[in-house]
Amino acid sequence: MSTSSGMRIPSESGADTDTTDPYRRMTQTFPRLTDEQVARARCFGQVEELRAGTVLFRRGDRSADFFVVLEGSIEVYHEAPDGTLQVITVHGPQQFTGELDLFNDRKTLVNGRMGEDGQVARLHRPEFRRLLVAAPDISEAVMRALILRRLGLIQHGQATVLVAGPPTTADTLRVLRFLERNGYPVTAIDPAAGPSASELLSRYGLGGRRTWPVVVYRPDRFLENPTNRELAHHLGLAEELDPALVFDLAVVGAGPAGLAAAVYAASEGLRTVVLEAEAPGGQAGTSSMIENYLGFPIGVTGQALAGRAQVQAQKFGARIVLPRLVAGLDCSQRPYTITLEDGDRLRARTVVVATGARYRRLDLPGRAGFEGNGIHYAATLMEAGLCEGEDVVVVGGANSAGQAAVFLSRHARQVHMLIRGPGLSEGMSRYLEDRIAASDRILVHPHTELTGLDGDEHLSRVRWADNQTGAMETRTIANVFLMLGATPNTDWLRGCLETDHRGFVRVGTDVTDRRMYADDAQPAGLETSLPGVFAVGDVRAGSVKRVASAVGEGSVVVSAVHHALADHSV
């Protein structure tokens, strides 16, 4: 294979001030440590003399080391579709290698080799973590750089997998959504886009009929319509669990509450694992913009907030294992045993249930067939791209529906909000009410319910009716966003914990069944009917459906976890 120069990354003195491009933020994305910082960092590892061309890590490796360049240079590169090796950047003296996979055991996305003879300080993973703990100033520079480097790969289409498939079909959207929400670089292509698409597909050996989508993860390796689990396995997103290991805390669910619990538990020295069925963020992770979260005056997307929280938890040593769906909890003895859908098991002394809630599905003929083919439960840039210049429907009147309507109004010609009651929910944030009222692209339909869905393979027409007058209307609309109420994700608990009549988990003084507790004992504030098992966030009965409250509960619960571990030594 030949080597070619990839993207030309500007020099630090360049005049370009585009702060949205990580590669234009040189001093942050590719910083140079000071002489004093380099001296401290090298004490944590081993100094090595290496010849030009020495490979330091390859794409697909797990647990790549962290390198600080002392002399010479390190080239970071990826393999292009035509087989050439394209250089992403060159690290010189006082610079360091790595991106977000340094914080987990997922497969590395890029390759690294010595660009010329030189000297490096090599830090293995444990040494790298000790450096971050011992040197906050170095940790700050490294953390910022690794996050920006991943964003750079995503923005510039480097180190990607190729996803080829019709862009509006359910499985193509599922695969793209899974990769996007997990921060994996993707190149998407429509096989019917013309000669250029056919030429690119032929380079990957994808001529002839295929079961779309096709995911190419190496020039000679591809998957046809893989499940999320298969995709995670082949791309190296999945991590193996040691059945002999007993965790101090297992967090089930990686929404805001679960991630907060993981950050605080891991930062306080607890051996912590997080089990997530799809991607970090939960429902909040699909929010297009959260504008009333403390500390973000211009707002933050749910995916960005979740991504930062995930890195923060991993920085402190928490393991985030995905996509792993939890199937059951053995509550007969401690340590508790959690069974996963594929039969794997893990044990933990305490458990935090943070599985949240899912949007309620409408009981309409044909609804299931249109899910992913016109029916959506998230409004992100991916879905918005399907609605450019078209009319769309948002069903619901609470915050999630309001956020979706405001976001989609930037792309759609008209957003129709269908609300069963007389108007927007009393619980909707005032800023969203004002945005909706001020927008000439959002039309609110009170006392209105969706009554029909029509189309062939994809949704093409909808019907709605006024529930007071009975008047009906049919519109040519291809995309409907359902943001209706909440159903708790508690089926996997199978009677282990006491719930209310809707299935939300009762905690603290609301618990009536205290048979598992000693005579004078009672559950702590967020403790369930089972000692050492807690519930936080939207899955908890009586919770406030806000990101900030979920984060607060996830943070507070760790104090009770410490008490439970102290009271029950296992």
The pTM of this model reads: 0.91
Q: Looking at residues 295-322, what average pLDDT do you find? A: 94
Sequence ranges of the chain with CATH classification 2.60.120.10: 3-155
- Span between the terminal Cα atoms of the chain, in Å: 55
What is the CATH topology of the domain spanning 161-235?
A: Glutaredoxin (3.40.30)
Buried b (16+ CB within 10 A) or exposed e, 439-458: eebbebbbebbbbebebeeb
CATH 3.40.30.10: which residues of the chain? 161-235
Predicted confidence (pLDDT) at residue 14 exceeds the cutoff of 50: no
Residues of the chain with CATH 3.50.50.60: 246-358+488-567, 367-482
Looking at mean pLDDT, say which of 10-19, 39-48, 72-81 comes out highest.
39-48
Q: Is 56 a residue whose pLDDT tops 80?
A: yes
Q: Within 335-471, where are the H helices? A: 367-370, 381-384, 399-408, 430-438
Q: What is the mean pLDDT of residues 255-261?
A: 97
Q: DSSP code of 358?
A: E
Fold topology of 367-482 = FAD/NAD(P)-binding domain (3.50.50)
CATH 1.10.1530.10 fits 3-155, yes or no: no
Give 81's pLDDT tier (boundaries 50, 70, 90): low
Which two three-digit tokens encode residue 21?
């491009």
Check if the beta carbon of residue 558 is closer than 8 Å to that of residue 268. Answer: yes
Written in H, E and C, the secondary structure of 36-92 is HHHHHHHCCCEEEEECCCCEEECCCCECCCEEEEEEEEEEEEEECCCCCEEEEEEEC
Residue 241 has pLDDT above 70, yes or no: yes
* CATH of 246-358+488-567 given 3.50.50.60, 3.40.630.190, 3.40.50.150, 2.60.120.10: 3.50.50.60
Indicate the pLDDT class of residue 569, thresholds 50, 70 and 90.
Answer: low
Most confident listed range (220-229, 479-488, 533-542)? 533-542
pLDDT value of residue 486: 81
Strands 472-475 and 459-466: antiparallel
Decide if pLDDT at 15 tops 80: no
Average pLDDT over residues 409-427: 93
For all residues of the chain together, what is the average pLDDT? 92
Q: Which residue has the tokens 């997990």?
A: 182
Residue 371: predicted pLDDT: 92
pLDDT tens, residue by residue, 469-508: 999 999 999 999 999 978 999 999 988 999 999 999 999 9
**362-379 residue pLDDT tens:** 999 999 999 989 999 989
3-state secondary structure 157-184: CCCCEEEECCCCCHHHHHHHHHHHHCCC
**What does the pLDDT average to over 386-406?**
94
pLDDT of residue 278: 93
Mean pLDDT in residue range 150-176: 93
Distances (CA, A) of 100 to 86, 147, 307: 20, 6, 10
Look at residue 3 and tell me whether its pLDDT is greater than 60.
Answer: no
